Amino acid sequence: MQIGTTLAKRKFDVVIVGAGGSGMRASLQLSLAGLNVAVLSKVFPTRSHTVAAQGGIGASLGNMSEDNWHYHFYDTVKGSDWLGDQDAIEFMCREAPKVVYELEHFGMPFDRNADGTIYQRPFGGHTANYGEKPVQRACAAADRTGHALLHTLYQQNVKARTQFFVEWMALDIIRDAEGDTVGVTALEMETGEVHILEAKTVLLATGGAGRIFAASTNAFINTGDGLGMAARAGIPLQDMEFWQFHPTGVAGAGVLLTEGCRGEGAILRNVNGERFMERYAPTLKDLAPRDFVSRSMDQEIKEGRGCGPNKDYILLDMTHLGADTIAKRLPSVLEIGHNFANVDITKEPIPVVPTIHYQMGGIPTNINGQVVVPNNGIHNEVINGLYAVGECSCVSVHGANRLGTNSLLDLLVFGRAAGNHIVDFNLKNKTHKPLPKDAADRTLARLARLDSNSGGEYSQRVAGDIRSAMQQHAGVFRTQAGMDEGVTKIAALRDRVSNLALKDKSKVFNTARVEALEVENLMEAAQATMVSAAARRECRGAHTVDDYEHPADHPTAPLGRDDANWMKHTLWYAEGNRLEYKPVNLKPLTVDSVPPKVRTF
C-alpha cells in the first residue's frame, strides 16, 4: 500500500463505526428516517460486546417495588461520586422507561412477572427513597439481557434496511481544514484494501478499551479504536483515569458473573465465612456500588482474610438461592461456574476477584451525542459532523463510577438521541463538504510504516507489556509512586508501538495487521489513563489512591475526595501528552441539583 495510491471511495449520509447496542440503536433511527447509513463493524454485529451483558437495563418502571426517576437520578449522581454531569444524568433517567418500553415493542424477550409486566431485579447502588433500601430497577432477560437486546436491535435494523459492513475496521477520522468531520478511512479485512468512506456525519460507537488491562471481562475486540481515532484527530479523551473493577470476575479466568447474582441474593464471604460487606456498607451490604465492593474485597484480601491456598480470592455464595431460581434467573452463571471454575454454584460458593470491566471516561460529548472540545474559553464547542455514543463516549452520566445497568441504558438513550439529532441535521443539509486532498494520508503513512519496517517488534509482545503495566500501576488501589512509575513505563512503550513490524505482509484477512493497528489504539487509551490518573491528587469513585486518609469524621467513608480542587473533568490530549480540565455540570435540566456529600451506603 503506497502513499498516493488511488483509494476506493464511497459516499453515505452517515457512517457509524460500531454495531454494538449504541451503534445499532442510533442506526435504527437513521434508517427509519430514510437516510443512507453505513454501519461498520470488526465482527458480525451480534458478536459485539453488548451481547455479553448479563444483568439488566436500569429504568424506574416500578413494576415490583415503588420507584421513580428522581430516585434513579439521585442514585446515579451519588454513584458517580459527583463527577457525573447532572443535566445528562437527568436526561438519561427520565428517558429510561421510554426506551425500555420501546425495546419491548421491538420484540425484546424480557422476563415477565405473573401480571405480564417486565421482571426487574435489584442491582448495586440502586435504591428507593434516596438511599433508604435497595430497589428493583434492573429490567432483565434472565442473565442474557445484552444478548436479547442486541439481537432485537439487529432484527429491527435488518427490517429497516440498514447497510452493514462486516469485518471492516475504521482506521482514522477525516477532518477538513475547518476541523469539520467529513468521513473515515477503513480497512476491508477480507481484501486488505483501504477505503475512504465520505459522510456528512460520522458517529463513533466503538465500545470500551478494556483490553488495555491484562485481566478483563471484556471481549478481545475491545481495544479502544474510537479513542485512538479521536486522539489522533486532535480530540481530547475525558476522565480516562476512572476504570471500573467489577467485583465478581471468576478468579483466574476473568469471565464475568453478573451483579444480578447479588441482585438475586448472592453473598460475598471471606475465609471465615463472614458476610464482610455488612461492615463496609451497613445499609446496602453486597449491593453497594461496584467501587465500594471491589475496594472492600481487596481490603479483605490485603488483611489476610482472602480464601484459597494463596488467600487471594473471595467467595460468592449462591447456594441458598435454590436450584430453581438459579436455573430460571441465572442460567448462564450456572454454565460459567461449570465451565470456568469447575464449580456447581447450586452446591458450593465460587471464587471471584475484582476484574477490569468498564471505562467511565471516553470521547467528550453533549446530550445530543455531539463531540465537544474546549476552544477559546468555551468548554464545550461542537465539532461539526462528529458524534460518539456508548462506552467509547463520555457524556458524562457515569462520572467516577458507573452503576450496574446504566450502561445498557446509556446506549439506548444516547444512541436514540444522537440518531434523532443526526436525522435533523441531515434533513437540513443536503450536500457533503468536499474531502480534503490529504484525506487518507495519515492512514496510509501508518500502514506504509508497518509494511516497510523489517526490524521492529511484533504487536503481541508490546500489547502484553502495555497490559501488564496497566494491571500493575492502575489497579483497585493505586499509589502516587506506582502511578508515576506507570507513566514512565507507558511513555517508553510508545516508542515500541511506533516501531511495530509485521512478519506476514499479505493482504487477505491479515489478522496480524489488524492487531498491530489495534495496538496503536490501546496505546492512546493506556497513556490517557495513566497520565490522567497520576495527575489527579485525590480519591474519587473508582480512582482510589492509598496515600490519602479517610475523612476525619467518617472513618468508613472512602479515602479523601477533594471537591474544592478536583471536582472537575480531566481532558487528555495525545498531542503533547498534556492535560486540561473543565468544570463538572452540577445543574440538572429541570430539578434541583444533588449537592456533594460524603458517600456512605
Ligand X SMILES: Cc1cc2nc3c(=O)[nH]c(=O)nc-3n(C[C@H](O)[C@H](O)[C@H](O)COP(=O)(O)OP(=O)(O)OC[C@H]3O[C@@H](n4cnc5c(N)ncnc54)[C@H](O)[C@@H]3O)c2cc1C
Q: Which positions are annotated as active-site residues?
A: 290
What phi and psi values does residue 532 have, to the nearest 5 degrees? -65, -40
- Cell numbers representing residue 395 in the block: 457524556
Q: Residue 390, interface with ligand X (CB under 6 A)?
A: yes
Q: Residue 41, interface with ligand X (CB under 6 A)?
A: yes
Which residues are CB-contacts of 392 (< 8 A; sequence separation ≥ 6)?
A: 18, 204, 205, 206, 207, 208, 209, 224, 226, 227, 362, 363
Inter-residue contact 578 to 231 (CB < 8 Å): no
Which residue's entry shows cell 434508517?
A: 31
Which residues are CB-contacts of 87 (< 8 A; sequence separation ≥ 6)?
A: 367, 585, 587, 588, 589
Which residues are CB-contacts of 294 (< 8 A; sequence separation ≥ 6)?
A: 245, 246, 247, 354, 476
Burial of 92 (0-12, 13-18, 19+ CB in 10 A): buried
Query: How do strand 181-188 and strand 193-204 relate by DSSP bridges?
Result: antiparallel
Q: Which stretch binds ligand X (CB under 6 A): 40-48, 67-75, 98-106, 326-334?
A: 40-48
| Interface size with ligand X, residues (CB under 6 A) | 45
Q: How far is the CB of 60 from ligand X (least distance, A)?
A: 15
Q: Which stretch binds ligand X (CB under 6 A): 91-99, 213-221, 265-273, 525-533?
A: 213-221
Nearest-angstrom CA–CA distance, 202 and 308: 50
Which residue lies nearer to ligand X by CB, 42 or 137?
A: 42
Q: Residue 55, interface with ligand X (CB under 6 A)?
A: yes
Q: Residue 363, interface with ligand X (CB under 6 A)?
A: no
Q: Which stretch binds ligand X (CB under 6 A): 21-29, 66-74, 288-296, 528-536?
A: 21-29
Q: Residue 141, interface with ligand X (CB under 6 A)?
A: no
DSSP 545: B
Inter-residue contact 100 to 118 (CB < 8 Å): yes
Which residue lies nearer to ligand X by CB, 222 or 544?
A: 222
Q: Which of 411, 418, 476, 594 binds ligand X (CB under 6 A)?
A: 411
Closest listed residue to residue 569, CA positions, set 388, 360, 352, 319? 360
Q: Residue 49, interface with ligand X (CB under 6 A)?
A: yes
Q: How far is the CB of 300 from ligand X (least distance, A)?
A: 24
Q: How far is the CB of 354 from ligand X (least distance, A)?
A: 14
What is the DSSP track for 141-180?
STT-HHHHHHHHHHHHHHHTTPEEEETEEEEEEEE-TTS-
Q: Residue 350, interface with ligand X (CB under 6 A)?
A: no
Q: Which of 85, 172, 391, 524 binds ligand X (CB under 6 A)?
A: 391
Kindly list the distances between the CA atom of residue 344 and the CA atoms of 268, 272, 314, 321, in Å, as whole numbers in the listed order.
16, 21, 16, 13
Closest listed residue to residue 535, CA positions, set 580, 491, 469? 580
Q: Which residue is nearest to ligand X (CB)?
A: 20
3-state secondary structure of 116: coil
The H or E element containing residue 317 is strand 314-317
Residue list 241-300, contact with ligand X (CB under 6 A)? 256, 258
3-state secondary structure of 453: coil
Q: Which stretch binds ligand X (CB under 6 A): 35-43, 175-183, 537-545, 562-570?
A: 35-43
Q: Residue 152, interface with ligand X (CB under 6 A)?
A: no
Which residue lies nearer to ligand X by CB, 20 or 125?
A: 20
- Beta strand extents in 176-242 (DSSP E only): 181-188, 193-204, 237-238
Q: How far is the CB of 379 from ligand X (least distance, A)?
A: 24
Length of the chain: 601
Q: Residue 207, interface with ligand X (CB under 6 A)?
A: yes
Q: Which stretch binds ligand X (CB under 6 A): 53-61, 74-82, 378-386, 589-597?
A: 53-61
Q: How far is the CB of 96 from ligand X (least distance, A)?
A: 11
Helices (H) and strands (E) in the chain, counts: 16, 20
Helix axes 21-32, 145-159, angle to 10 degrees: 20
Q: Residue 218, interface with ligand X (CB under 6 A)?
A: yes
For the sheet with 57-58, list strands across it. 57-58, 133-139, 120-128
Which residue lies nearer to ligand X by CB, 307 or 394?
A: 394
SS3 labels along 476-533 = CCECHHHHHHHHHHHHHHHHHHCCECCCCCCCCCCHHHHHHHHHHHHHHHHHHHHHHH
Q: Which stretch binds ligand X (CB under 6 A): 293-301, 303-311, 331-339, 403-411?
A: 403-411
Q: Residue 54, interface with ligand X (CB under 6 A)?
A: yes
Q: How far is the CB of 405 from ligand X (least distance, A)?
A: 4
Q: Residue 56, interface with ligand X (CB under 6 A)?
A: yes
Q: Residue 19, interface with ligand X (CB under 6 A)?
A: yes
Q: How far is the CB of 209 from ligand X (least distance, A)?
A: 10
Q: Residue 529, interface with ligand X (CB under 6 A)?
A: no
Q: Which of 7, 32, 33, 43 binds ligand X (CB under 6 A)?
A: 43
Q: Which of 1, 12, 18, 233 binds ligand X (CB under 6 A)?
A: 18
Q: Residue 169, interface with ligand X (CB under 6 A)?
A: yes
Q: Residue 48, interface with ligand X (CB under 6 A)?
A: yes
Which residue lies nearer to ligand X by CB, 408 or 539?
A: 408
Q: Which of 122, 146, 361, 588 binds ligand X (CB under 6 A)?
A: 146
Q: Residue 358, interface with ligand X (CB under 6 A)?
A: yes
Q: Which of 127, 145, 368, 544 binds ligand X (CB under 6 A)?
A: 145
Give the torsion sign (CA, 267, 273, 279, 282). Answer: positive
Which residue lies nearer to ligand X by CB, 53 or 423?
A: 53
Residues interacting with ligand X, by CB under 6 A? Answer: 17-23, 40-43, 48-50, 52-56, 145-146, 168-170, 205-208, 217-218, 221-222, 225, 256, 258, 358, 390-392, 404-408, 411
